[in-house]
A and B are shown apart, each in its own frame.
Chain A
Amino acid sequence: MKYAYFPGCSLHSTAKEYDLSTKEVAKALGIELIEIPDWICCGATPAHITMHLLSLALPVKNLLKAKGMDSYEVVTCCAACFSRLKIANHFMREDIEHRKNVEEIVGEPYKGEVRVRHFLDVLVNVFGLKNIAERINNRLSGLKVACYYGCLLTRPPEITQLDDLEDPHLMDDLMKTLDAEPVKWPYKTECCGASFSLTKTDIVLKLSGDILQMAHDEGAQAIVVACPLCQSNLDLRQGAIEKKYKKNFNMPIFYFTQLVGLALGIEPKKLGLDKHIVNPLPLLKERKVLVNK
């Protein structure tokens, strides 16, 4: 299994542990990830708000770079990059006028032929849960987690084509395979405030606070995410949320790749578990799921 890997800006900075743990897990499972050389930012939300053509041209440029590699199915971990790449592909396939303009901008023909997948999809649907189960040597028994999917992983369904729209379950299935206990909760696809982290911090505090509260009420000990923006809003801003709403959550926020890595017996440090603001190690120790080599 070989993929062109598009990390995206967040995974090279604020979400370094997502990048680390993805690479570790891929290595352990024998999935080869080759980073797209000289990839550029996908433009994220600011691009599609400001200039529509730019928001298509930036992802297309990256997909074209991937096309030059010998295996060109693209894998990404960031839910926002995933959404932008998928949407760009959709437009290039369906909308002739936009295709013409974007081709003119990037200077190459492109018809949306490079397939884009999320790493969660690769693990669950391509590699397969059964194969993962066979390789597990450190069960996460008794760890109660709330799987949080956020906005862009499943929406819009005709473009992302990943999971159920209102009640996604890929991550829950994966967690069950690791022997962790996903809790039932209604906030799987609520919004965390996303890119308002800097501009409208109070909105983020409210929305992310509600998510933490709901996970807490449903008995989760930690939240599992698949998006760097969700993680940083829930983890980095948790202190401010606790202060503002006078709560005490102390809820670690994991990337799903980190938990898969733990179950595969990879050292916590290699998975970047020391990089969180809410320290997850006490919980992992208490649940006896920490491997010490």
Chain B
Amino acid sequence: MKWFISHNTIRSPFQLTLEKDCGEKVSHCYQCGKCSAGCPIAFRMDFLPNQIIRMTQLGMEQQVLSSRTIWLCASCLTCTVRCPREIDIAEIMDYLRRQAYKKGIIPVEETEIPLFNKIFLRNIELFGRLYEMGLIGMFNLLSGEFFKDVFLAPKMFLKQKISVFPPRIKNIKETRAIFKRSGKLGKAHRDRLLHPRLLFLNLSRKIIGKIAKRDNP
């Protein structure tokens, strides 16, 4: 079968909005693969970074936004500084994640990272500074990994590296206002409860995983 890439494919609205919104010329990529060669997380990704860029060029919005890759990217910037076409791939990954949040697309296998981000930000919005105890507790509770790292906790307390009480800052209202106004201006979707669908997805996956493990150990 002959298959042609038409100009509608290459100038897809998906690619055009991306180029406009984050100012990165994905069309410049000539698929040398250098970004993927240096990517420390490549071994765990479902699509390599250069494949994500290629898929973006071809307007494959649904596949890109539901890939695990965009969540697994650690924002280490190795790809960005090495790209011979000066494409900021890490920024594109950021953009894609924000788009995925906006459209509510979360891959079923990769719920922890988006969930963690939400909990982290809610934590900052509440306290102004990171309340680690709250973050870890909340994450373990909501992700269904209740006993993760419990062995480390006593050591951390003994060495006074982690506090039971949240930090206090004077003008917390100011911080909360920044969150509110950023959300409004960026037209971000802000859930009252921490993203209920995400919570549900994550917990059900964990439970199914546990049952499956019990049945065929």
Which residues of A pack against B, CB within 8 Å?
9-10, 12-16, 38-41, 43-54, 57-58, 61, 101, 104-106, 151-152, 155-157, 165, 189-191, 193-196, 198-201, 203, 206-207, 236, 274-275, 277
Contact = CB atoms under 8 A, between A and B. Distances in A.
Contacts of B169: 38-40
Interface stretch (B49-57, B58-66, B71-79): B71-79
30 contacts: A13-B163, A14-B156, A16-B160, A39-B169, A40-B169, A48-B75, A49-B117, A50-B118, A50-B188, A52-B94, A52-B98, A57-B182, A101-B185, A105-B182, A106-B178, A151-B74, A151-B75, A152-B76, A152-B77, A155-B80, A165-B81, A190-B40, A191-B41, A195-B74, A196-B113, A199-B115, A200-B44, A203-B44, A207-B40, A275-B159
B201 interface: no
Interface in B100-125: 101, 112-113, 115-118, 120-121, 124
Contacts of B101: 50
A14 B161 CA distance: 5
A68 B149 CA distance: 41
Interface string B144-180: 0000110010011001111100010111001100110
Contact of A40 (B81, B113, B128): B128
B161 A13 contact: yes
Interface of B: 40-41, 43-44, 72, 74-78, 80-81, 88, 94, 97-98, 101, 112-113, 115-118, 120-121, 124, 128-130, 132, 135-136, 139, 148-149, 152, 155-156, 159-163, 167, 169-171, 174-175, 178-179, 181-183, 185-186, 188
A200 B112 contact: yes
A104 to B, nearest CB: 7
A46 B170 contact: no
Given A48-B94, A52-B94, A200 B130 contact: no
Contacts of B115: 199
Contacts of A207: 40
Given A38-B170, A50-B98, A50-B118, A151 B178 contact: no
Contacts of A198: 116, 135-136, 139, 148-149
A156 B98 contact: no
A112 to B, nearest CB: 18
Nearest to B158: A275
A106 B171 CA distance: 13
A40 B112 CA distance: 25
A230 to B, nearest CB: 12
Contacts, number: 156
Given A14-B161, A51-B98, A156-B81, A199 B128 contact: no
Contact of A41 (B43, B128, B161): B128
Contacts of A16: 160-161
Contact of A49 (B88, B98, B139, B178): B98
Contact of B121 (A15, A47, A101, A195): A47
Nearest to B21: A52
B73 to A, nearest CB: 9
Given A14-B132, A58-B178, 11 more contacts: A13-B161, A16-B161, A41-B128, A43-B124, A50-B188, A54-B178, A151-B77, A152-B77, A198-B139, A200-B113, A275-B161
A41 B129 contact: yes
A207 B78 CA distance: 14
Nearest to A83: B77
B85 to A, nearest CB: 15
A275 B171 CA distance: 31
B186 A199 contact: no
Contacts of B128: 40-41
A157 B80 CA distance: 11
Contacts of A50: 97-98, 101, 117-118, 121, 188
A45 to B, nearest CB: 6
Given A49-B75, A105-B181, A13 B130 contact: yes
A191 to B, nearest CB: 4
Contact of B171 (A38, A193, A194): A38
Contact of A105 (B139, B162, B178): B178
Contacts of A47: 121, 124
B182 A51 contact: yes
A57 B177 CA distance: 11
A52 B185 CA distance: 10
Contact of B182 (A10, A53, A201, A206): A53
